[in-house]
Amino acid sequence: MTEQSRVAGAAFSGGFGGNLVRLGCAAACLAVPLAAQEGPRPTFDIGAGFTEPIGTAGHALDTGWNMGAGAGINFSNYFGTKIDVAYTRFGINGATLANAGFPGGNFNVFSATLDPVIHVGAYRRADFYLIGGAGLYRVEQQFTVPAVANAVGVDPFFGFYNVSFLTDQVVSSYSVDKLGFNAGAGVAFGTKWRGKFFAEARFNRVYLGGARRVDYIPITFGFRW
Domain that holds residue 104: 39-224
First vs last C-alpha separation in the chain: 44
98 and 121 co-located in one domain:
yes
- How many domains is the chain partitioned into structurally? 2
List, for residues 31-63, the tens digit of each pLDDT value.
Answer: 334 334 456 889 999 999 999 999 999 999 999
44 and 122 co-located in one domain:
yes
52 and 155 co-located in one domain:
yes
CA distance 90 to 145: 17
- Under the banding of pLDDT at 50, 70 and 90, the label for residue 188 is very high
12 and 78 co-located in one domain:
no
CA distance 38 to 61: 45
Q: Select the highest-mean-pLDDT range: 4-8, 40-44, 109-113.
A: 109-113
79 and 136 co-located in one domain:
yes
Q: Which residue has the higher pLDDT, 127 or 194?
A: 127
The helix/strand/coil state of 30 is helix
How many residues are listed for the chain in this entry? 225
92 and 33 co-located in one domain:
no
